[in-house]
Amino acid sequence: MIFVMQVLKFGGSSVANADNISKVIHLVRQALTKDRTILVVSAFGGITDMLIQAALSAAAGDEAYKESLQEIEHRHLETVRALLPITRQSAALSAVKTRCNEIEDICSGVYLLGELSPRTQDKIVSYGELLSSYIIAARFAALDLEHAWKDARELIVTDSRFGHAAVDFPRTNRNIREYIDSSSASLIVLPGFIAADEKGITTTLGRGGSDYTAAILAAAVDARVLEIWTDVSGMMTADPRLVSNVRLIPRISYQEAMELSHFGAKVIYPPTIQPVMRKNIPVWIKNTFAPEDPGTIIELDTLHNGDSIRGISSIPSIALISLEGSGMVGIPGFSKRLFEALSSYQINVILITQGSSEHSICVGIDESNVTTAKNAIDHSFQPEISSGTVDPLNVETGLSVIALVGDHMKSHPGISGKMFGAMGRNGVNVRAIAQGSSERNISAVIAAGDVKKAINVLHEEFFETSYRQLNRQCRPPPHRTASAPTGLASATIAHPAAGRRSGQ
Ligand code: ADP
Ligand code: ASP
Ligand code: MG
């Protein structure tokens, strides 16, 4: 059977409570009038963090984990009571209780052993998405809306890197297509974020991974569109929690979106773009709480709007590690050994700079990896450290990366001068600089305490000057100024895939 399909994903805040879920249900019902729909949902807002906290407390021998689990159970039971008619409640309440008892059993095992493996942690957090998707599906059943609930672990196959599993795409795509072809449901509800390895053991796709689940499904079924529904009205020129005058980015290329999210724009989880980009499926970022707002469309190529910079983003909790020493000059293989040491411990490299003297290599990594990185690299360079040709790894913490992103930066000279000039004038000290060879970003490492100031200064420098000028001419309605670019407030954006693949 071939259908035109769409994939809709709703994040944690969109499904945080019964009122919000009702909004989601309304939006899904509207969407169903268009196409067959796959609905991917996150855990209720905050639940994943609470599950991790409960697991960590249990491992630390702290009985407080029981209270956290009670709170988790209470939130889910309350949501069931608020969403379902009395006649349907008892079955759903006991299903929720059964799952919560399972979490409790696992946590009590962790408590007794005093140990939490990544595998057990994945099992515990998986209940967040299992519970939310179950309750939302129960609401559809109460509305007599034909649907199927499907466990994502039966479709998405990964390796066994718990916490950050890598997807086996050939098997996953086959599973998804077979399932979709065999199902006649016009609405399929799935938990995001969770998957299983080839032995069927639960894995997860990384924090924020429900976006990725949705993209994997969209690419496998050649969806017409992937819609990511969240708590902001699209991708903005900066994180609205850090800058008050942000502007909406109405359209953005896959590469720019990937770069912005890689450098911290949490609105979309970085791996999400890859599968849909390969299939040229547009991604539409929409606000569950303001569905009439146009949102952002991520697509292959976008019209250049005249801005050389699309957005500014930042990554918190960065450490800079640098390897230095006179013995490094001109000798090949040093960087290879450094990166091998990092990759053998699966430490993700966020940014690299190397002085042209080849006297030092400097790498930005997540602060949580510092001890492992230091041990691994010092061990790998032990002979050179002993002979004094290389210094022990130098580590600096308490840093953040800040990045300017835009496809058209390369054709606009002077951007880095403007960037570093603005930061310098405002007393922001730059510890390291990197520019991607694609020239799609310039990134700098600065003190964590300077991030808010730096982003605001750069936002003003690159976006607000011309914005203020335009604003004076056009005077958009005041409530729109923070979220929509001038002139766009009343414009309508066509559905990203209108007319696309209509024959499928
Ligand atoms: P969800 O739970 O729906 O997946 P997330 O919290 O993961 O939502 O992502 C949405 C958040 O991303 C927003 O509330 C916003 O604070 C943050 N964010 C960071 N950078 C940006 C940006 N450039 N544009 C929009 N939102 C951003
Ligand atoms: N619930 C998971 C998390 O909080 C996945 C997601 O929401 O995308 O990371
Ligand atoms: Mg998210």
Give yes or no for residue 45 CB within 6 A of ligand 2: no
360-412 tens-digit pLDDT: 889 999 999 999 999 999 999 999 899 888 999 999 999 999 999 998 887 77
The reported pLDDT for the residue numbered 497 is 43
Mean pLDDT, the chain, rounded, equals: 90
Alpha-carbon gap, residue 182 to 58, rounded angstroms: 42
Q: Are strands 296-299 and 251-253 parallel, antiparallel or unpaired?
A: parallel
Residue 477 has pLDDT above 90, yes or no: no
393 and 373 in contact (C-beta within 8 Å)? yes
Determine the pLDDT at residue 299: 95
- Candidate of 24, 211, 230 to mutate for ligand 1, largest count of ligand atoms within 8 Å of Cβ: 230
The mean pLDDT of 256-268, rounded to a whole number, is 94
| Span 67-111, pLDDT tens digits | 999 999 999 999 999 999 999 999 999 999 999 999 999 999 999
The CB of 192 under 6 Å from ligand 1? The reply is no
**Reported pTM:** 0.89
Cβ–ligand 2 distance for 133 under 6 Å, the answer no
The response to whether residue 253 sits with its C-beta less than 6 Å from ligand 2 reads: no
pLDDT value for 305: 61
pLDDT tier for residue 437 given thresholds of 50, 70 and 90: low
The pLDDT, as a whole number, for residue 439 is 76
384 C-alpha vs ligand 3 centroid, how far in Å?
Answer: 44
Would you list the DSSP string of 207-267? TTTHHHHHHHHHHHTT-SEEEEEESSSS-BSS-TTT-TT--B--EEEHHHHHHHHHTT-TT
Q: Which strands sit side by side in the sheet containing 194-197, from one edge to the other?
A: 157-158, 194-197, 202-204
Predicted confidence band of residue 479 (pLDDT cuts 50, 70, 90): very low
Which atom of ligand 2 is the closest one to the Cα of 128? 1
> What domains are there in the chain, each with its CATH number?
5-231 (3.40.1160.10), 312-473 (3.30.2130.10)
What pLDDT, in 10s, does the model give residues 269-279? 999 999 999 99
Residue 275, Cβ neighbours under 10 Å: how many?
22
Q: Give the C-alpha distances (Å, rounded to integers) separating 490 from 9, 232, 282, 292, 487.
A: 26, 18, 22, 11, 7
CB of 209 shorter than 6 A to ligand 2: yes
Choosing from 42, 52, 194, 216 the residue with most ligand 2 atoms within 8 A of its CB, the one to mutate for a pocket test is 42
Note the pLDDT of residue 329: 73
> Mean of the pLDDT values across residues 476-501?
35
What pLDDT, on a 0 to 100 scale, did the predictor assign at position 494? 38
CA of 325 to the centre of ligand 3 (A): 42
Residue 330's Cβ-count burial label (10 Å; 0-12, 13-18, 19+) is exposed
Overall average pLDDT of the 183-202 stretch: 98
Q: What is the pLDDT of residue 328?
A: 76
The alpha carbon of 313 is separated from its chain's Cα centroid by a whole number of angstroms, namely 13
Determine the pLDDT at residue 331. 67
CA of 231 to the centre of ligand 1 (A): 7
pLDDT digits 0-9 by tens, 315-354: 999 999 999 888 777 667 888 899 999 999 989 998 888 7
Angle between helices 64-83 and 47-59 (to 10 degrees): 150
Q: What is the pLDDT of residues 418-431, one digit of tens each?
A: 999 999 999 999 99
pLDDT for 27 beyond 90: yes
Write down the pLDDT at residue 308: 80
Which of 171, 83, 96, 174 has its CA nearest to residue 130?
Answer: 96
Ligand 1, residue 235: give the atom nearest the CA.
24
Label residue 474 by pLDDT band (50, 70, 90): very low
Average pLDDT over residues 204-210: 97
Nearest atom in ligand 1 to 241's CA? 16
Q: What is the pLDDT confidence band of residue 488, given thresholds at 50, 70 and 90?
A: very low
Is residue 356 scored above 70 in pLDDT? no
Q: Is the CB of 177 under 6 A from ligand 1?
A: no
How much of the chain, in percent, has pLDDT values that exceed 90? 78
Q: Give the residue, 432 or 140, on which the prediction is more confident.
A: 140
Q: What is the model's pLDDT at position 468?
A: 45
Decide if pLDDT at 251 tops 60: yes
Task: Tell me the C-alpha distance between 205 and 198, whole Å.
Answer: 15
Residue bearing the bigger pLDDT, 78 or 477? 78
At 131 the pLDDT is 98
Residue range 229-250: average pLDDT?
A: 96
Interval between CA 91 and ligand 3 midpoint (Å): 31
